[in-house]
Structure 1
Amino acid sequence: MTTYIPQLTLPQTIFNNPALSILLPIALGTGVGYYTRPSQTKDTYRRIKNPPLYPPPSVFGPVWTVLYGLMGYAAYRAVHHGTSPLSAPSTIRDAKSGATLYTVQLGLNLLWMPLFFGLNRPIAATADLVALLGLNGYLAYLWGGVDSVAGWCLVPYLGWLGFATYLSAGAAYLNDGDLRQRKEGKDL
């Protein structure tokens, strides 16, 4: 069971507006992507050892755009419809608790790229993904009870998080937990 914490939750006005709900995670994800310097990120991705089945770098932008849009739509559906005055008290509680979880998971999601590519810490990035998987599994369950469409919108995100965890853990293992480029045995 979770608790609604207003200080850790996006404002209700965001959840009540479908465009804001959808565009906010897309804009934040895009901002973090540009903050971590896309050309350096792609160079790092090509340079490091990756596990089998890793996709080309060009896949990530479109996939994350769709996933962020789906998660934003799920947030709109669950919170807007779940907090309707006609909703049962338990539905309102689950919708609001989910809004807090959603906000926390969005923060964790946005933290992954700086951890992996900015700080070159794939083990910490993998731990972040494991936390994201747990939070979003519970969020899909919780919001699925509020609005089935919202719950199903999170399923592709969960699948991708599972795949991303495999990629991150594989990169951590294959690169000895450090993605910094080494030259003649010394860190740059």
Structure 2
Amino acid sequence: MAADPLTRAVLEIDEYAAGLGWDQPARLFALVDTARLREQEPGLAAQLGLDRPAGPTAASYTPIEQDELPAGGALDEFLGTIAWPEAVAGCALTVERLMLPPSAEASVPRDLDDKRLAEWVAEHPDRQEVRMTVAVLRDGSRESALRLREKDSPTEVLTGPDLVPGLAEALLATFAD
């Protein structure tokens, strides 16, 4: 298991999403400091099975899934409506998308609107289905996990802080004052 608490949280969310299968809607999570949750909300901590510390200095974040995201709306517009209470240390989002390899960039038609571009990508023979899980903390820390549908295995999950920078920035903006 990853040593960094944020990486552990991202991998926990990725594992949860993997258990639900593919073709799922985007899911939003609040990340709360597990020790703080135990202290301030002991009943909820017990309900989540977090009432006993994992170790004397084991820092961790507990992902708490939020209500379902509204269907049909633009994700960036929805994220622009979110404000988190002070008790939330960070947030995470898991979303499925189609991606093309860099080699396909030169063949992308430039005159398509968003809908037609999405259709073009969906029909491209080199498209890849990917699940992205991106998490950020109030202090600007970030982590991501990418899982390709064709390599759907916990050992094939790629992690790193800068894998999905645009989504990380959008999530960080939900903490702006």
* TM-score normalized with structure 2 length: 0.26
More strand by share: 2
The structure richer in helix per residue is: 1
Q: Which has the higher contact order (CA 8 A, sep 6+)?
A: 1
